[in-house]
Chain A
Amino acid sequence: MTVTRRTILGSAVAASALALPSVKARAAGKPLTIGVCSDFSGTYSDVGGNTSVACVQQALADWGAAAKGYDVTVIKGDHQNKPDVGAGLARQWFDNGVDLLIDVPNSAVALAIAGVAAAKNKAYINTNAATSALTGPKCNANTIHWSYDTYMLSHSTGGAMVAAGGKSWFFITADYAFGHLLRDQTTAVIKAAGGTVVGGVAYPFPQTTDFSSFLVQAQSSGAQVLGLANAGKDTVNSIKQAHQFGITQSGMKIAGLLIYCNDIHGMGLDIAQGLVLTESFYWDLNDKTRAFTKRVLPRTPNNYPSMAQAGCYSGTTHFMKAVDTMGLDAANKSGAAIIAQMKKMPTSDDAFGECSVREDGRFMCPSYLFRVKTPAESKYPWDYYNLIHTSSAEQTFAPLATEGCPLVKA
């Protein structure tokens, strides 16, 4: 190993991200490094974490990176849901030759990293944060937002709940970028459909585990729908406790605005049955998604991929195709050039099928409204969803010019 500023403290570093194999020192094949920055131990560890890493590795295997002469290193880092930790990690990775940073649940961290990617001119694919600001006011030429966003969730799930007669809402919101945006966009959908929001509380994130006080307030508000503008284990906890406090028994409907199949698994169908939710990928959707899931499962035995994790597969596949098309030298020069190349090409993979990337960095794919099955309907492991509606990519995401992205020339 060459002695660089990376090789300090010898052994302690050997296993750390700082000890990246020096890009210059490796002659073997065409070197690339992909960093999976995720939550590996906290609220979002089930919907990101090691399953995301597995999906990146699966993408490289399926695309045949090694056979095509690429020597790709995959590293991982835990951002602990702290924007400063995430931004520091991203800066360090980019300074040390990471070519692509992917995954990143938690909107606050995701936005911080978008800034770093632009400053360092590297490629950044976010598959796991919800905030539509990534392709709105905070968009940049180095960032693509895969899988889903708050606009999709609020319009699809929120819209479906209002259409089914849920006119008055009470919100329980995770008190940071993502929760606020999801609540506000859903509120707009509710009002446009003639509904009202009668109240709401924002709780401190990520340290809240007891939602009882907010649930009691929701109950006494008399609203028809309890809107949960949160995600991951927070959603699981709030739905479980809503059952303990007899919320659903009293006739109030729960709208989980962001629920992944991993959360349903965590709750169990007894509690989750009947929930309506939106994902842009489901493992049991068609033959191709089932084939992809079957291939990736050995790497992630106890956790089926959700849309965010499948996004890591789809995004990595498309990134490799773009790099291969433009050549490694051009790709090494500029992350923005790789992203531009990705926007030029249509995407195609087993997880999301044939889609495209819009000029504001929005990955354009269909979305699916699901209803969670009853325990009796579920026939095999992770058989959780009934499909009730499909929206095209154009119906799913905000129209190009409406989001305030500076990249889009009006």
Chain B
Amino acid sequence: MFGFNRGQQLSFVLLLILVIGAPFVLYPIVVMQVMCYAIFAMGTNLLMGSVGLLSLGQAAYFGLGGYVAGYLVQSVGLTPELGIVAGGVAGAALGGAFGWLAIRRQAIYFAMITLALAQIVYFGAVQVTGFTGGENGIQGIPRGALFGFLPLASDRAMYALVAVIFLAGVIFIHRVVHSPFGQVIKAIRDSEPRAMSLGYKVESYKWIIFVLAAALAGVAGGTKAMVMGIQTLSDVGGSTSGLVVLMVLLGGIGTIFGPILGALIVIAMQYYLAPFGAWVVVIQGAIFMACVLVFRRGIIGEVAYRLRTQL
């Protein structure tokens, strides 16, 4: 099925059951948020896992996607699915420009330049208040009706839409990784000089991955704006960039299902630990440290390693 191996098939079926069953057990809004962040994290994972680039500025594309979707739906009156698509396109466009600047730099400088560019985007979001609402954000984004005739006002309808987008994202990313294109990407990660000597344009491949990650971030941001009905500066801020890296790290860099689990844990933690003030931040920091010191494969990565399979 879709080129999944057996372990991945099982995991995918399990995921499907979880997606269908979750809203009966958990607060649906939280599950929708988890799915949005999971798309975001899967995109970031493409960058971290398949080409080994750590970006500290992914929030720029996530936030931009949310603003574009929110603005177009609220002020121009687009239908929600068009808003989300526009969010993805906006993310991809920005990713195209920034990626072109950033991919020519290695490891630490790449991280720093993505950080700097994201800061510039954040600043833009603060300044262009006509578009973003500045500190107030875009408030009261209407969910409207899917394709103009399926109202999304109820959480159930919205949930179905988010679930479809999310599952489509999982399958899409899996296909990308297992396509001939994905094989080249693997070769680049394993040995850049060798890939180059085989005549592959390494930088173009990296750039395409960068744009894909940004597009997914844009879709995720757009979807989240529709779910929450509000889009604010927090989504473009540095802490969101850190959060998504944490999700990937915790779930397992380079795994298919890791970022999903990472998103689930991090968002659940934020929600259910909110009454305990800043302990959320302390725990997040501790998880970062633990991941680096003793748990570099992440949860899913560790499970896959024990089972000697890929997940």
Are A and B in contact, CB atoms below 8 Å, in the complex? yes
What is the minimal beta-carbon distance from B224 to any residue of chain A, in angstroms?
10
User: B167 to chain A: which residues have CB within 8 Å?
Assistant: none
Contact code string B263-305 (vs A, CB < 8 Å = 1, else 0): 0000010011111111000000000000000000000000000
Partner of B136, one of A9, A83, A88: A83
Contact yes or no, A115 B134, CB < 8 A? no
User: A204 to chain B: which residues have CB within 8 Å?
Assistant: 126
Which residues 36-89 in A have Cβ within 8 Å of B in the complex?
A: 40-41, 77-78, 82-85, 87-89
Which chain B residue lies CB-closest to A179? B135
Contact code string B225-244 (vs A, CB < 8 Å = 1, else 0): 00011111011000000000
Which chain B residue lies CB-closest to A40? B277
Among B25, B139, B140: residue with most chain A CB under 10 A: B139
Which residues 1-19 in A have Cβ within 8 Å of B in the complex?
A: 5-6, 8-9, 12-13, 15-18
A84 CA to B70 CA in the complex, in Å? 13
A125 CA to B228 CA in the complex, in Å? 22
Contact yes or no, B272 A18, CB < 8 A? yes
> Number of residues in B with C-beta < 8 Å to the partner?
30
A15 CA to B228 CA in the complex, in Å? 24
Contact yes or no, B232 A88, CB < 8 A? no
B145: Cβ under 8 A from any A Cβ: no
B176: Cβ under 8 A from any A Cβ: no
Contact yes or no, A84 B232, CB < 8 A? yes
What is the minimal beta-carbon distance from B148 to any residue of chain A, in angstroms?
21
A107 CA to B140 CA in the complex, in Å? 15
Contact yes or no, B27 A18, CB < 8 A? yes
A107 CA to B136 CA in the complex, in Å? 8
B182: Cβ under 8 A from any A Cβ: no
Contact yes or no, A112 B274, CB < 8 A? no
Contact yes or no, A87 B272, CB < 8 A? no
User: A88 to chain B: which residues have CB within 8 Å?
Assistant: 29, 228
User: A95 to chain B: which residues have CB within 8 Å?
Assistant: 27, 29
A362 CA to B268 CA in the complex, in Å? 38
A176: Cβ under 8 A from any B Cβ: yes
Which chain B residue lies CB-closest to A206? B135
Given contacts A41-B278, A108-B135, contact A5 B230 (CB under 8 A): no
A17 CA to B274 CA in the complex, in Å? 9
Among B134, B136, B231, B277: residue with most chain A CB under 10 A: B136
User: B136 to chain A: which residues have CB within 8 Å?
Assistant: 83, 107-108, 111-112, 176-177
What is the minimal beta-carbon distance from A180 to any residue of chain B, in angstroms?
9
A92: Cβ under 8 A from any B Cβ: yes
Contact yes or no, A6 B278, CB < 8 A? no
A17 CA to B28 CA in the complex, in Å? 16
What is the minimal beta-carbon distance from B88 to any residue of chain A, in angstroms?
21
Contact yes or no, A84 B275, CB < 8 A? no
B137: Cβ under 8 A from any A Cβ: yes
Which residues 6-32 in B have Cβ within 8 Å of A in the complex?
A: 23-29
Given contacts A6-B27, A91-B29, A175-B135, contact A78 B277 (CB under 8 A): yes
A259 CA to B39 CA in the complex, in Å? 45
Contact yes or no, A41 B277, CB < 8 A? yes
User: B268 to chain A: which residues have CB within 8 Å?
Assistant: 8-9
What is the minimal beta-carbon distance from B142 to any residue of chain A, in angstroms?
10
Contact code string B121-163 (vs A, CB < 8 Å = 1, else 0): 0000010000000111101100000000000000000000000
Which chain B residue lies CB-closest to A175? B135
Partner of B26, one of A5, A111, A115, A177: A5
Given contacts A41-B278, A92-B29, contact A175 B234 (CB under 8 A): no
User: A115 to chain B: which residues have CB within 8 Å?
Assistant: 139-140, 229
A382: Cβ under 8 A from any B Cβ: no
Contact yes or no, B135 A15, CB < 8 A? no
User: B28 to chain A: which residues have CB within 8 Å?
Assistant: 5
A205: Cβ under 8 A from any B Cβ: yes
User: A6 to chain B: which residues have CB within 8 Å?
Assistant: 27
Which chain B residue lies CB-closest to A204? B126
What is the minimal beta-carbon distance from B83 to any residue of chain A, in angstroms?
17
A194 CA to B249 CA in the complex, in Å? 62
Q: Can you list 6 A-B pairs with a CB-CB distance of less than 8 A?
A: A9-B272, A83-B136, A87-B230, A111-B139, A112-B136, A204-B126
Beyond the given A5-B23, A8-B25, A83-B230, please list 18 additional residue pairs across the A-B interface where CB-CB is below 8 A.
A5-B28, A8-B272, A15-B276, A16-B273, A16-B274, A41-B278, A77-B274, A78-B274, A83-B136, A83-B232, A84-B228, A85-B234, A87-B228, A87-B230, A107-B136, A112-B136, A112-B230, A115-B140
Interface residues of A, Cβ cutoff 8 Å to B: 5-6, 8-9, 12-13, 15-18, 40-41, 77-78, 82-85, 87-89, 91-92, 95, 107-108, 111-112, 115, 175-177, 204-205
